Amino acid sequence: MYSLAFSILFVSFIVLTLLVRFWLASRHIRHVLTHRSAVPAEFAEKIRLAAHQKAADYTIARTKFGLLTLAVNTLVLVGFTLLGGLQWLSLQIFQATGPGMAYQLALLAAFALISGAIDLPFDYYKQFKLEQRFGFNKMSKGLFFADLVKGSLLGAAIGLPLAWVVLTLMGKAGDLWWLYTWMVWSGFQLLMMVLFPTVIAPLFNKFTPLEDQSLKARIEGLMQRVGFASKGLFVMDGSKRSAHGNAYFSGFGAAKRIVFFDTLLARLQPQEIEAVLAHELGHFKLKHIVKRVVVMFAMSLGFLALLGFLKTQPWFYDGLGVNPLALPGQSNDAMVLLLFMLVLPVFTFLFGPLTSLTSRKHEFEADAFAAKHTDARDLVSALVKMYEDNASTLTPDPLHSAFYDSHPPASVRIRQLNLAVQ
């Protein structure tokens, strides 16, 4: 009875999520189309009509492509769960490996390979058709597949040992395995923050010290004013993959470094680059990063506690198309990890606006920080160029934006900055 009720609940949330997502996407497309013919008044003197229409077309194309991937991913989700895909896969692997840790790791690896194979044609189309169509793709096919191989090997090198630790804890650490797993997971996340800028990122991109001495002096002056210590200023060769531009800082503690995309440096003036960086530093000085990490750790603790409960509930497995007693002598630890990972987004999607709301609040605060330590007009100028260069629509549907966007709409964000100038 419980398993049937959970199956019905699961299907209900899938349908609800699909309806909401398709409704939001259709609203977004209609809204962007309605405003395609004219640049919004506040941007009329800064952005050309052709650029505005390109952004509208790019937004619509990406939204439609997103609906296609959503439909396929939903079918894959149902196939893995209610239609018995994971059950079948586990039986095939169990016959080949027998019981034990080898079976569990093989199940996780097989699922990752199958999921990756399903995603591959969509990733390829997005890069070499959609992004290419709008002039953003700079990646060769050789680089695309080299990234795929390196990413897969890196994922296996990091993911399999981590999975072994988690599965060992699940099997041997008793009822509080989820708490110990959370400690391991939290430590792993902090370790990745330290290793990413110096070990992982250089595997995919080239980072060179910033050579422009005038710009370097300007940025170092900004860092001194706001009290930010960095291990270095670097330029990343983002142009070998995409025409999109950005700037960010990464790392943790003494490993913090500031990174500029070469595409950004080529487009913005020094004072605009300084203003953009001031915004990013605002996130650090206002402790947005720390707050996000704390929230992430708290949510992961709650989700792992929930997983600890679901692990012992037969209805959770049965309700998702898996017989927990199908493999005698074999634990279902790897299986419950996969099931939980598959269904969690279905049940948490409607909470997305809360995350977006917090993120947009942080963006406003970082903009205000930048306006305090640099000229707000420089940040406005930089943002306008970045919106144009990245083909970001100036007219998103407000409800769609509230649900998905981590940044405020361009018009709202720039209006706030202009108030700072007055």
Q: Give the annotated binding-site residues for Zn(2+).
A: 279, 283, 363
Q: For CA atoms 311, 315, 317, 323, give the dihedral sign.
A: positive
Q: State the Cα–Cα distance between residues 133 and 127, nearest whole angstrom.
A: 9
The answer to whether 21 touches 346, Cβ cutoff 8 Å, is no
Question: Does 389 participate in catalysis according to the annotation?
Answer: no
Q: Which residues are annotated as a binding site?
A: 279, 283, 363
Q: Which amino acid is at 189?
A: Q
Q: State the Cα–Cα distance between residues 200 and 198, nearest whole angstrom.
A: 6
Sheet holding 233-236, edge to edge: 207-209, 233-236, 257-261, 247-250
Q: State the Cα–Cα distance between residues 192 and 165, nearest whole angstrom.
A: 16
Phi, psi of 313 (to 5 degrees): -105, 110
Helix (H, G, I), strand (E, B) or coil at 250: strand
Question: Does 367 participate in catalysis according to the annotation?
Answer: yes
Task: Catalogue the E-assigned strands of 295-409.
Answer: none
Given 131, 272, 274, 280, the catalytic residue: 280
Q: State the Cα–Cα distance between residues 36 and 33, nearest whole angstrom.
A: 5
Helix (H, G, I), strand (E, B) or coil at 99: coil
Q: State the Cα–Cα distance between residues 333 and 337, nearest whole angstrom.
A: 6
Q: Which of 300, 202, 209 is nearest to 251 (CA)?
A: 202
Q: State the Cα–Cα distance between residues 308 and 178, nearest whole angstrom.
A: 6
Structural tokens at position 254: 């003494």
Look up residue 8 and give its DSSP letter.
H
Q: State the Cα–Cα distance between residues 192 and 251, nearest whole angstrom.
A: 8
The answer to whether 2 touches 335, Cβ cutoff 8 Å, is no
Positions marked catalytic: 280, 367
